[in-house]
Amino acid sequence: MYHSAVSLYTADVLVIAARHGISVHSYADDTQLYLHTPAINCEATFARLIACIDDIGLWMSSNRLKLNAEKTQFTCLGTKYQLAKVDSSVFVANGSVVDLLPVVTCLGITIDQELTFADHIRRLTGCCFHCLKQLRSSCTW
């Protein structure tokens, strides 16, 4: 029942994004907006994305909610060649400066721009090594 209430409550975010032609993925209170575009069209795509985020921010404000600018992350995915064509300048969305990040997190997964998952694998193996060390030191054979 609770999950349905959350889905209905945030359904307007999906409608706003659809008006801008932007795809959305939501999980609980975490929402990702995403677009597919050739690197040459990034400037127009960024403008569309900013307009969508601004509209979502206005909707949230009118519903006594706040878009958390500190948790807002932005990245572009592609090959090194494609990413070199992207203007990585800073843009302002919903009144906050948002940098283009080389690595972002999504539901605990670390995603890099080229989708190598190297940072995520490095972090995961580090956690596993730590757990194995803890197990070894607590073993009384």
For the chain of 141 residues, list the mean pLDDT of each consecutive stretch of 10: 48 91 86 88 88 91 83 88 81 82 88 92 90 80 60
Burial tier of 54 (Cβ tally within 10 Å: 0-12, 13-18, 19+): middle
Pick from 124, 62, 47, 58: nearest CA to 95? 58
Cα angle 109, 129, 126 (rounded to 5 degrees) comes to 35
pLDDT of residue 91: 78
pLDDT of residue 15: 92
Task: Take residue 97 and report the two structure tokens written for it.
Answer: 């400066």
pLDDT of residue 6: 44
Kindly give the residue spans of alpha helices, DSSP state H, lying in the chain.
2-9, 11-19, 42-62, 80-84, 118-138
pLDDT of residue 73: 86
State the pairing for strand pair 96-98/103-106.
unpaired
pLDDT of residue 5: 41
pLDDT of residue 3: 38
